[in-house]
Chain A
Amino acid sequence: MLMRVLDRLEEIIITVLIGVATVVIFVAVVQRYGLSNSGQLMGWAKSQGMDWLFNAAKSVFVFLNSFNMTWAQELCIYLFVWMAKFGAAYGVRTGIHVGVDILLNSLPDRSRYFMVLFGLLAGALFTAIVGSLGAEFVWHMAQTDQTSPDLEWPMWIIYLAVPLGSYLMCFRFLQVAWTFARTGELPQHDHGHVEGIGEADEPLLTEPHLHPREIKHGEGDKP
């Protein structure tokens, strides 16, 4: 039950982050472009003596000018960094992180089993180290009062993405390793999968061989 909540939460977080980042940049571009255009229109309308147009352009200009969007880029970057850290953890669960697996797939089943486990545990080790380094870093940063340049948010909260995301990723690696150790199943990401394309709803695609073959063929961990 708790796992379900965590899974859903992870998905919701990254979905919202990418969506919000897109909207933020879109609004910022529209605002900037609208501002310069309404400014030009004001000048033109004045020279033509068209008062109504001048007033309309002026009200648009004043309206747009009342927002300050200079922080948009910064916010977008932070949103994407958070998305990248949590999305990387989600990616472990969906099996999207690819490696070089020719050697692996030519090994006999038993050695492959250990190699795959080794790879997954190495992932867990790396993310655990990075998470701890990040945690220490954030801890030191929290003692200072550094803030981000435009938004003026405390930097340690922003950097919190590194330890949180890495520990979550570590947990996901362990989870996948545990499942693999017991059942021999690996999550697989299907690069060719598109929903709703093609004439009928028949499955268009088979599994691509991007990942280590499974020991026993199963359905894989469908997210």
Chain B
Amino acid sequence: MSALIIFGLLGALMLSGMPVSIALGLTVLTFLFTMTQVPVESVALKLFTGIEKFEIMAIPFFILAGNFLTHGGVARRMIRFATSMVGHWHGGLGLAAVFACALFAAVSGSSPATVVAIGSILLPAMVKQGFPKRFGAGVVASSGALGILIPPSIVMVMYCVATSGMLVEGPNGEKVTAASVGQMFIAGVVPGALLGLTLGLVTWYRAWHGDFPCLERATWSQRFKAFLDSFWGLALILIVMGGIYAGIFTPTEAAAMSAVYAFVISVFVYKDMGLRDVPKVLLASANMSAMLLYIITNAVLFSFLMTHENIPQAIANWIVGQGLGWIGFLLIVNILLLMAGTVMEPSSITLIMAPILFPVAVKLGIDPVHFGILIIVNMEIGMITPPVGLNLYVASGISKLGLTEMSISVLPWLIAMLSFLMLITYVPEITLWFPRMLGVL
């Protein structure tokens, strides 16, 4: 009963168009004031302690690092390197866009940022070379989604934040701990590479079919030069992933290090950015991070209410009682998340849905890491499905295509991603094999 009221209220408030964070907060306040005896002071305390965790601070650091990389010329050099490697195949610059997005995704934690960084440079170049605009915009919008699957990833941090500290039980009543940020990052490597390959194949096939232009084959010395030029950017991949894997840094520290590193290479090595641009980048990053942290605060409040009303447990018991196996459950989860993905942005969905679905998943014997990656892949698809898909907006901004045309242009890649989602959902080994091999799981 209370679940119905809570979700009804939240749904109504969200549909009115107010910010998701405000809708979450108002739902909690209304419910607590009218229906329960929870002391209101505990709400005030939660508002502060909700984000008082060091893991969460990885988010602002990764955003800052991403902004430095976008403004500081790292993206441009990565594109040149990617083009020199794959530009001579069918699809030329299109293929290079997929490759460059994958490379940039490995240093940045956000999808729209990846689309902006790669798309705003490559898309005009593709149009100039005679690619259909639709094709170019489609490639960039869909490959940009790699940003949150290839580590580091802000949405992965969100998933860990949303589920950490939950007391959940496996199928036989044993205690299961939630996934850590480090585990999620390492688990994202193989699915990320695989999805990159899939998107590349679709691009190649379409280019071969449509006979789109390719570039001249770059010589090995040109490739080596492009590699050296982008080396400082590529080294960041090693710093973040190597540092976390070797246990030198925690993920948050790795994020802070990559922010400082990105600042140094942008300002002092590549010199694409002056010192006086730094405050602007800091302000833009602070703005974006504060928005995300504000959603987290209110989502923590919301999941406090959920736990207080025992809703996740009730849903878990109900679903298990329905005799729905993990196969059926994951199908429902996928549909639910894909539907949510069409109207909401990933951070809010993850923060609201993960705490509710996670106990059920664990109870059905699904690995927390596998479940997390599944959510991330769903979120990626959500970013390119209308009416609300951040990547579509950004790509439509760059390409000046309308939203409807944008939505059609991503279709081939969207279908590929949906099949990829099925693969990830029902073959957990793809996700779990790599972290198990490294011994982090």
Contact = CB atoms under 8 A, between A and B. Distances in A.
A208 interface: yes
A109 B398 CA distance: 28
Contact of B290 (A91, A136, A195): A91
Contacts of B388: 100-102, 210
Contacts of B257: 25-26, 29
Contacts of B253: 25, 28-29
B23 A97 contact: no
Interface in A132-150: 133-134, 136-137, 140
B15 A17 contact: no
A204 B125 CA distance: 13
Given A29-B256, A126-B22, A126-B26, A87 B41 contact: no
A22 B260 contact: yes
A162 B44 contact: yes
B44 A134 contact: yes
A184 B45 CA distance: 37
Nearest to B390: A191
B23 A91 contact: no
A100 B282 contact: no
A22 B61 contact: yes
Given A26-B257, A83-B60, A19 B44 contact: no
B249 A29 contact: yes
Nearest to B283: A15
A17 B57 CA distance: 13
Interface in B79-93: none
Interface residues of A, number: 74
**Secondary structure type dominating chain B contacts:** helix
Contact of A83 (B116, B272, B289): B289
A192 to B, nearest CB: 4
Q: Range of interface residues on chain B?
A: 35 or more
B280 interface: yes
A104 B16 CA distance: 7
Contacts of B390: 191, 210
A205 B249 contact: no
A52 to B, nearest CB: 28
Interface string A184-223: 0000011110111111000011111110100000000000
B325 interface: no
Interface in B349-404: 387-388, 390, 393-394, 396-398, 400, 403
Contact of A122 (B18, B248, B343, B396): B18
Contacts of A18: 60, 64, 282, 285-286, 289
Contacts of A15: 279, 282-283, 286
A87 B16 contact: no
B344 A100 contact: yes
A192 B16 contact: no
B121 A197 contact: yes
Interface stretch (B48-56, B101-109, B222-230): B48-56
Contact of B60 (A33, A80, A86): A80
Give 10 closest A-B pairs by Cβ, nearest first. Answer: A87-B290, A119-B18, A208-B393, A104-B17, A97-B19, A84-B293, A25-B256, A192-B397, A205-B397, A137-B44
9 contacts: A17-B286, A18-B285, A77-B57, A84-B293, A87-B287, A104-B16, A126-B29, A189-B287, A192-B394
